[in-house]
Structure 1
Amino acid sequence: MATISSPGVGTNGLDVKSIISQLVTLEKKPLDTLKLQAATVNTKISAYGQIKSLVSTLADAAGKLTSVTGWNGVTTTSSDSKFVSATAIGGTLPTTFSVEVQGLAKAQATASAALLPVGGALGAGTLRLELGKWSVAPASFTPGSGQPVDISISASDKLTDVASKINGSTAGVTASILSDASGERLLLRSKSTGEEFGFRLSVMEGGDTDIASAGNTDATGLSRLVAGSTTTQAALNAKATVNGIAVSSATNTFATTISGVTFKAEQITTAPIDITVGKDTAAVKTNVDEFVKAYNAINQLMQDATKYDAKTNAAGLLQGDSTAIALQNTLRNAIQSVTSGGGAFKRLADIGLTQQLGGDLTLDSTKFNKALTENPDDLKNLFRNTGSGSAEGIAVKIKAVTTNLLSADGFFKSKDDTLQLSLKRNAKDQATVNDKVDAFEKRITARYNALDKQMASLNGLNAYIAQQVTAWNKST
């Protein structure tokens, strides 16, 4: 900022700094208007961002009404979910069946004989773990389709090292160590339940590859892990009956027994448990309610933003904005559209969904519930019929409109680009004004500095003349 070089003029009663400050303030006056315009544009950007978010919510709500699963929802109930719980996928036909659980799925578990000394080395060799199925009588093991997993054990490895190596392998078995007064035991358990996920532990010492040879089962060295081991829990499938017919599952979840229904055995039953699958009309009503709520949120925001209050002479932020009005009309036209694909229903008003004064939607629950009960297919088609042209469902139309509005080159992107460009121009205009003000301040300060020097010179001349006149008068 330019400054006054000397008191000069100021000492003669003229407040130069104040004069320059006021002149600069006048030059800056256009900035007030530009800053107000920028603030208004930023507020509009925020408002359109909020509207965009609400339109996205409406698009999601319309999407649920165009989705098959939105109309094919089902409810699944159990007469006692503590024993048997159940779920069903959308579109499952209404049904009822009874389940009795005779046994839950189990994972095989084994325990080695007690080993002493505690913490001692076991001996070198190889452990082999195989997954497969055990038969009871006679006891035999049938390996599964997977490959055996061999684990190398060094001469210095302790039981903790063995357990760690088993847990770090891909054998499908977990290991832990139990310590009691008799020593320490290796506990093994299948990671999966079911008869097909049993396991067999074998030992191979000194390069012997025959797991049944005497050297690998003599209860010395590493073979102590298999000699004297016991099965504490056999691998079992869950056993149940459905309407009296026996079924089984490797887990407690029966996912393919009844088409579309998954039930889970929680406990062994003492009486039949009834599972009932029915149409979930409440989900349809919820989806329609969410659609109404989403549309009304947009309508209320747009009404407030575009209104003009004659009493207060106050205009809404978007009052007179042609693009905002076009957006309102686009959404209203979609809501008020007619379809030929809804059978008995042509428009939303036919099912109790009407627009009130101000544009908000309201739902007549009695009329809607009647349509849902008596004409569910026509109601569904009113919203989601995928036919072309006039047969297109209303929710399908609204989904298409909102998708277009939200697209990468749609309404909101175009509007935001326009507003952002306006901000850039405003910033440029502010910079231009500031440059002009700076130049003006420099010019006016320079002029007053020049005047200051001239006045100082004149004051000095005036003092000299006065001094000479005084001296002349004294000499005469």
Structure 2
Amino acid sequence: MAITSAGIGSGLDINSIVTQLVAAERVPIDNLAAKSKSFNAKITALGQLQSGLSSLQSAVRNLTPTGLNKITATSSNTTLLSATTSGAAKSGTYAIEVIERALPHKLGTKAVASATDKFSVPNAEDPSTPIKTGTLSITINGVESVNLGAGEHSLQDIANAINATGTNLSGRIINNGSGYRLAISTLNTGAANKISITGTGALASLTYSPTADPSSQDTEQLQAPKDAKLSIEGMPVTRASNTISDAIDGVTLNLLNAAPGTQVNLVVAEDTGSAKNAVKAFVDAYNSLHTTLGKLTAYNSDTKTGAVLNGDVAARQITTALRTELSTQVSSNSGVKTLSEIGVSFQRDGTIALNESKLEKALAADYKDVARLFTATDGYATRLNKKITDMLATDGVIQSRTEGLRKNIVDVDKQTQRLEARIAQTEIRLRAQFSMLDVTLANMQNTNTYLAGQLSSLQSSNQ
């Protein structure tokens, strides 16, 4: 009878023996798994550095010309006037009086019983058959915007035609309680935007002319178009819009309400508050990255173990590059040339500290000089922004190191697959060999038992 269970014939624990032998063969695979885990940990750590660099770059970009050279415009009466600035604005205080706001032209047609019924007028030749057809032309300052050809038209048709033109006109139906009226308005303000309406046939009653006697027209003027009127430093200014961007260089005025005789002071000045906050944000972002680098590259002398990026070339390059840039003065600036002159200095632990009082004094003394320390061609923000951009590029130190580690992981996976295949074959061979040994030992034991029996029989017969 064949032996089918390993160790039954020999009494050996074959499963245990084979398992231990295979486990010994798997030691290289365990080592490869540890390597792969280490590589993945490094990739994760490099991702943390990339995130820290991105945060630092965002803070640095607030110190470039776009972020730092900010001019603010502050109104003493924000119910009458507000203002925004561009980079061309110059510091100064302006006395402004809002005399009159610009207005659009507004008209209202006579009331009708239904907004959807077609217009009609009595037919002098045949009173039983009213005239329902007519044409309508609407112009703004002599330029035609709406043209309704001969046909039957309702108030709603006219409103739809006005709004469909996409021009400087708006048409809205209003029910004022005594009927439906069409409110027609220019979208743009200014005295030049005057509406004229010419109607014929059934639409003749809608005719309106700015120069005609109001009492002779069914369509009435609800609001006359007007230009904005103001004075700046006592000089009269007139514009068609309430948003005026060409009166003060780099400043856009927004006229909110008119108040003749009321002076509004508009102060245009460098935004020192934003500049201070931008420098503080930069210091915080740098220190955060420095802390991250410190944790990832640390070495514990007690346990004699290093952190995940201890000795890593990418981390070392980043640390050195940033330290070098911050330690190099700005030679092109005629005034301050180093960060320490505006209150930013290195500490013993490698972080940088900000003396806010010193920064405030530097900004108050010469805002533009401080700005140039960062924004000049060799300014700190200019150089740091370029350096970090290079670091974060696809061929930069972070991505290059990450790609190298990913290739290492691929190589480890291939080695692991080859070893797994070899070990699987080894296990099959070992089980086959031990099974054969088990059978052989079992046969030997059977032979031994047989011979022992034969010898016992011979001894019995001799006696």
CA contact (8 A) 2:272 2:367 kept: no
Structure 2: segments with no counterpart, 5+ residues: 120-131, 208-216
Give the residue type in structure 2 aligned to 1:385: A
Between the aligned partners of 1:8 and 1:312, the Cα distance in structure 2 is 46
Task: Give the corresponding residue for 1:283.
Answer: 274
Between the aligned partners of 2:113 and 2:370, the Cα distance in structure 1 is 76
Q: Determine if the alignment matches structure 1 residue 416 to structure 2 residue 398.
A: no
CA contact (8 A) 2:137 2:198 kept: yes
Q: How far did 1:154 drift?
A: 4.6
TM superposition score normalised by structure 1: 0.81
For residue 129 of structure 1, the aligned residue among 130, 133, 138 is 138
CA contact (8 A) 1:84 1:264 kept: yes
Task: Give the corresponding residue for 1:256.
Answer: 246
CA contact (8 A) 1:9 1:456 kept: no
Task: Give the corresponding residue for 2:195.
Answer: 199
TM superposition score normalised by structure 2: 0.83
> 1:312/1:198 Cα in 2 relative to 1: closer, same or farther (>3 Å)?
farther
Q: Determine if the alignment matches structure 1 residue 168 to structure 2 residue 164.
A: yes
Task: Give the corresponding residue for 2:210.
Answer: none
Give the residue type in structure 1 aligned to 2:354: L
> 1:372/1:177 Cα in 2 relative to 1: closer, same or farther (>3 Å)?
closer
Between the aligned partners of 1:363 and 1:330, the Cα distance in structure 2 is 21
Q: How far did 1:355 drift?
A: 0.6
Deviation per CA, 1:241-269, whole angstroms, max 9, x where unpaired? Answer: 22332223322222111122222111122
Give the residue type in structure 1 aligned to 2:239: S
CA contact (8 A) 2:73 2:268 kept: yes
Between the aligned partners of 2:115 and 2:271, the Cα distance in structure 1 is 61
Between the aligned partners of 1:164 and 1:458, the Cα distance in structure 2 is 109
Aligned positions of 1:87-106 closer than 5 A: 87-106=84-103
Q: How far did 1:83 drift?
A: 1.4
CA contact (8 A) 1:73 1:91 kept: no
Between the aligned partners of 1:10 and 1:107, the Cα distance in structure 2 is 106
For residue 356 of structure 2, the aligned residue among 340, 365, 368 is 365
Give the residue type in structure 1 aligned to 2:430: I
Deviation per CA, 1:98-145, whole angstroms, max 9, x where unpaired? Answer: 22222222222222112245632234444323222xxxxxxxxxx14x
Task: Give the corresponding residue for 1:29.
Answer: 27
Between the aligned partners of 1:233 and 1:353, the Cα distance in structure 2 is 60
> 1:244/1:469 Cα in 2 relative to 1: closer, same or farther (>3 Å)?
same
Q: Determine if the alignment matches structure 1 residue 222 to structure 2 residue 192.
A: no
Between the aligned partners of 1:343 and 1:371, the Cα distance in structure 2 is 14
Q: Match of 2:394, SS?
A: coil
For residue 70 of structure 2, the aligned residue among 73, 80, 99 is 73
> 1:27/1:129 Cα in 2 relative to 1: closer, same or farther (>3 Å)?
farther
Q: Determine if the alignment matches structure 1 residue 231 to structure 2 residue 221.
A: yes
For residue 246 of structure 1, the aligned residue among 220, 233, 236 is 236
Q: Match of 2:269, SS?
A: strand
Between the aligned partners of 1:148 and 1:452, the Cα distance in structure 2 is 105
Task: Give the corresponding residue for 2:43.
Answer: 45
Larger deviation, residues 406-415 vs 121-130: 121-130
Deviation per CA, 1:186-212, whole angstroms, max 9, x where unpaired? Answer: 222222222233333333xxxxxxxxx
The percent identity for this pair of structures is 29
Q: How far did 1:360 drift?
A: 0.4
Give the residue type in structure 1 aligned to 2:353: T
Q: Match of 2:192, SS?
A: helix
> 1:8/1:439 Cα in 2 relative to 1: closer, same or farther (>3 Å)?
closer
Q: CA RMSD, aligned part only?
A: 3.3
Q: How far did 1:472 drift?
A: 11
> 1:41/1:201 Cα in 2 relative to 1: closer, same or farther (>3 Å)?
farther
Structure 1: segments with no counterpart, 5+ residues: 133-142, 204-215, 387-391
For residue 326 of structure 1, the aligned residue among 309, 317, 323 is 317
Deviation per CA, 1:41-65, whole angstroms, max 9, x where unpaired? Answer: 1121122122123223333433443
Task: Give the corresponding residue for 2:255.
Answer: 265
Q: Match of 1:9, SS?
A: coil
Q: Determine if the alignment matches structure 1 residue 447 to structure 2 residue 443.
A: no
Between the aligned partners of 1:178 and 1:399, the Cα distance in structure 2 is 58
Give the residue type in structure 2 aligned to 1:336: S
CA contact (8 A) 2:80 2:259 kept: yes
Task: Give the corresponding residue for 1:438.
Answer: 424
